[in-house]
Amino acid sequence: MLELIACIAIAFAIGSNDTSNSYGICIGCGVLSLRRAIYLLFILVLIGLVIGGRNVMETVGGNIAEVDERIVTIPLLLASIAIVLANVLKMPVSSHQAVVAGIIGSALALGKSVNTSTVIEIVLSWIISPFGAFVFAVIVYKLLEVLSSKIPMFKLENIIKKLLFISGSIIAFNTGANELATALAPAVHYGILNRIQAGILGAFTLFLGARIVSHRVIETIGKGITALDPFSGFSAQFGAGITVLLFTILGMPVSTTYCIVGAVSGVGLYKGLRSVRIGFLKRIVASWIITPLIALILSYVVTVITLL
């Protein structure tokens, strides 16, 4: 029962924090309302987890460490609390980091072996993916600059608004196939839920998290790092979406949050350093370093306490 509660809690937390990744830019640019974004997110996350989540689930559920009841429960509960607290502070954090680091912490506390090569691959993917999104976003922005010289701006903006919605939907799919798949992988691998059950329960609970509290982080992604218009917003969102999709196909749990922030920063820096709030960006980067360390330590300590 406690394992199921942990699954519900982490899905709610992801919804509260990660709605910003898929449709935050659309909302920030005025392309989509928050209410419509949340309903679309529910549908696409469910499809993403059921259809595209298998590879990531295999990596996280079975390849990091051997899982048991404690490894299913403790990291997910702690990660969900951390994510909701970050949401209150309007800070986009990586649920991947919290879950993966928590699994490692609990496994070490229980004396279980940890697959070092898999962990190294995951950490490298965390480092590489935001830079990949950064580069893709700048490339797309440059291409749009070329197109803007050949197509009237008002026509191009109408096209971009439609493409912005499509790219946001790709990231919503990736939220299920990668983000939620990472969080629920231990429970599915351990046999608490099958993939269909995880998809329905996860998508619905994620929907509730998005509906209740996601607006705080959406303000950060959509408007807090740099000012976005549909032109630059699409560049950032498409760059992040392609990056996450590529890593999902490879079965690597990467952070959609990392990629979105990397892509938004890339467009902002390309437009000019003054357009990026560097101090705010430093706070986000610092949270990326602190999150896995705290998750690992807390999971280790709490797991040790349960053994006493």
Asked if residue 243 is part of any domain, the answer here is: yes
Amino acid, single-letter form, for residue 20: S
Question: So what's the pLDDT on residue 218?
Answer: 52
With contact defined as beta carbons under 8 Å apart, do 295 and 79 qualify? yes
Q: What is the pLDDT of residue 81?
A: 80
Q: How far apart are CA 133 and CA 266, in angstroms?
A: 8
| Total domains, the chain | 1
User: For the segment 43-66, what is each residue's pLDDT rounded down to a tens digit?
Assistant: 998 998 888 888 888 877 767 877
- Domain hosting 98: range is 2-301
pLDDT on residue 136: 93
Sign of the alpha-carbon dihedral angle for 202, 6, 181, 169: positive
Yes or no: say if 263 and 239 are a contact pair by the CB < 8 Å rule.
yes
Q: Which residues of the chain have pLDDT under 70?
A: 1, 16-21, 24-25, 28-29, 62, 86-93, 213-229, 273-277, 279-280
Contacts of 295 (CB under 8 A, 6+ apart): 75, 78, 79, 82, 97, 98, 99, 101, 102, 105
Contact residues for 207 (Cβ-Cβ < 8 A; gap 6+): 15, 38, 39, 41, 42, 45
Segments in the chain forming alpha helices (H): 2-28, 34-52, 54-62, 69-88, 95-109, 116-148, 153-174, 181-190, 195-213, 215-219, 230-249, 256-271, 278-307
| pLDDT of amino acid 90 | 62
Does 65 fall in a domain? yes
pLDDT of residue 47: 92
Nearest to 140 by CA among 204, 218, 64, 234: 234
Asked if residue 307 is part of any domain, the answer here is: no
Collapsing DSSP to helix, strand or coil, 114 comes out as strand
276 DSSP β-pair partners: 226
User: What pLDDT sits at residue 12?
Assistant: 80
- Region at 194 (left for phi over 0; alpha for psi -120 to 50; beta for the rest): beta
